[in-house]
Amino acid sequence: MFCDIWEAGDSWGGISDQARRKRLQNKINQRAWRRRRNQNHSKHSSSYAEADIATNVTEPDMGTADAVIHDMNNHAADTTGSDSVLATLLVGCALIKCPRRREVARTRIKQVYEDYSLHSPRPSALHVLIRLRVLSALASNAVSMGFPPEGLCSDNFISPFNFTGPPQSITMDLVAATPSTLRPTSVQKAVIHHPWIDLFPFPRFRDNTLLAMAAGMVDDDELCRDILETTGEDLGARPSLIVWGEPWDCAAWEANAAFFLKWGFLAQGCPELLETTNRWREKRGERRLVFEMHHLSLNIFENGLADEIRPSWTLRVGKSGLKVSQVILGCMSFGDKNWQPWLLDKDEALPILKYAFDSGINTWDVADTYSNGRSEEIVGAAIKEYNIPRSKLVIMSKCFQFVDEEKGPIDPAVLTSNDGPRVNLVGLSRKHILDAVDRSVERLGTYIDVLQIHRMDRDVPPEEIMKALNDVVESGKVRYIGASSMAAWEFQMLQNVAARHGWHQFISMQGLYNLLFREEEREMNPYCNATGVGLFPWSPLAAGVLAHPWSDRTDAREKLDPFLQLLFRGAERGADKEIVGRVEELASKKGASMAQVAQAWLISKGCIPVGGMETKERIDQAVGSLSVELGEDEVKFLEEPYIPKLPIPF
């Protein structure tokens, strides 16, 4: 059989380009399927139309089929009239590759719809109409994402969402007006695939399908046939999928029991498909489907395959040998709500950490003082919970500030007070540095890749600070050292002390730097750039102020975070308001979010931003910022209103 379908131009030997190899393999697979299909159909003497549409369709459940068309009629009446239903169904024919079959389908749709309109429906044809409705829904989603429906018929069509490395500019154009359920995931961006799978409004289902295909566990031709073919030979007479409403809406879709039995493992981690199915079944008075997946031995979503296709884009930290992701996950958002009420607790935080890692963000920034150590514990728990190889992560932590063993709420006034009950529990004395590292390593359950001094301790000799930091590196508990938030002359002094003694020097500086606070441009950034020190600006979105219009104060952090009020909302600043307005204007023009534009500005300055990301959507936005390119005029447009501020005395 394989020799029969092989042609001279099919060999992919010597072809290193993965996309070309995939296209050649797809051609052979599809040619084999067409051969099998033609052999099966050749024994039927009926006409093409009957063989292709009516054969093997048994008596349907009239309640279900009739309800679908009735629902489509009601939807049409609410929009542009009943003719829109017919027009919508005809659009789906663009997904049928064979011109003859496409024309047969169009004729059949018109006949079936006319019969139903005249109250004389043919029961044998109703399920066909439902299947064609699925095609139409997918075609509609293709249009909304900027895909030409007819182009999806091409074997050579590689998903525009796919890339190796940071997103391409085409992705931003497509995503701008795309419903959230259809926006590409990190897996879609990393795996070369035909875009038909991009059209389903279930992100985890799409991811699982692509992972399974990459592992060779799923025949994409077979899955495509079960979902898109009009005969349903492999799944029985009832359609495998039904679309009741807007095609981009998860709640509008339904799958039948046969589909779950055959393909249900692809819905692992995608409960919304079963939930919406049962919602529609209950609406019709049918029993709920109960589908347990714990018995399945499919582990491709947790094993090494995910590592092979996980996107990765990294930058070297200054002149060191360490590479980190171009976006760093700030972990202050994960911890104890008693410390700050807007934080995510462990159960909420773990999936976010996993999603960040799967999205290529392999560098996580935490500090011992965050939630009094709870943030470090959550980071350590994520590594264990998801069995993340430690070698694939870069963990950055900090020491200096107080860690309250009583787990009380944050008190900014005493974080840096090294007196009374906090004596030797704050600062950069040798004792506190060594003790703090020991406790951080214990909470994390692993070593620290980059230990950063959270602030400068002006009461401790520079030699004591740098010798202690050198010793924790030599101990193996820490790999590199970095610093955060101090005067440029202080940072230079510490570097000079280390250089003079031959000790380890700082490889990074984490300072407050964003469009609303640019004082690091005076001395710190130029010094770091000149000496090969990486820049990790914290609060790249000004605690979220740059992520939404100036007048929008609905975010929980706007209401509850004392640091946000202190740093960015302490007074109504006309210049800041103008900058936020310009970020909003430019984001609208570029089809990006405000957060992406604000981060893109930092990236254009050679920085690797450290940002809090409390939702999967914010992670996607952060990754997407890598594709937002700002021209010189656009950078000037954003910077122009800035008025210098007094340095903050950290």
Active site residues per annotation: 370
- How many whole angstroms separate alpha carbon 619 and alpha carbon 545? 17
Cα angle vertex 180, ends 179, 185, to 5°? 125
User: E-assigned strands of 267-426?
Assistant: 314-316, 323-325, 328-330, 363-365, 394-399
DSSP class of residue 119 equals T
In angstroms, the CA 140 to CA 201 distance is 12
Q: How far apart are CA 334 and CA 342, in angstroms?
A: 9
CA-nearest of 529, 432, 497, 369 to 509 is 529
Residues contacting residue 93 through CB under 8 Å, at least 6 positions apart: 102, 105, 106, 109, 132, 135
**Secondary element (H or E) of residue 508:** strand 506-510
List of E strands, 361-461: 363-365, 394-399, 448-453
On whether the CB atoms of residues 540 and 602 are closer than 8 A, the answer is yes
428 to each of 373, 454, 467, 486, 528, how far by Cα in Å? 18, 9, 11, 13, 22
3 state DSSP class of 509 = strand
- Looking at residue 647, the DSSP 8-state letter turns out to be P
Listed residue (448, 291, 251) closest to 368, CA to CA: 448
Tokens coding 335? 């911890």
Q: How many CB atoms lie within 10 A of CB 42?
A: 9
Packing angle of the helix pair 99-117, 123-144 (nearest 10 deg): 120
Neighbouring C-beta atoms of residue 337, cutoff 10 Å: 14
Single out the residue of 323, 18, 306, 313 nearest to residue 165, CA to CA. 313
**Tokens for 182?**
């259809």
CA–CA distance, 119 with 492 (Å, rounded to integer): 85
CA nearest to 377, candidates 441, 466, 473, 301:
441
**Taking Cα atoms as reference points, which of 22, 30, 602 lies closest to residue 327?**
602
Instruction: Confirm if 544 and 518 have CB atoms less than 8 A apart.
Output: no
The region, left, alpha or beta by phi > 0 then psi within -120 to 50, assigned to residue 366 is beta
Phi then psi for 459, rounded to 5 degrees?
A: -100, 0
Q: Give the long-range contacts of residues 163-171, CB within 8 A, separation 24 or more.
A: 163/189, 163/190, 164/190, 164/311, 165/311, 165/313, 166/313, 166/326, 166/623, 166/626, 166/627, 167/623, 167/624, 167/626, 167/627, 168/627, 169/627, 169/629, 171/624, 171/627
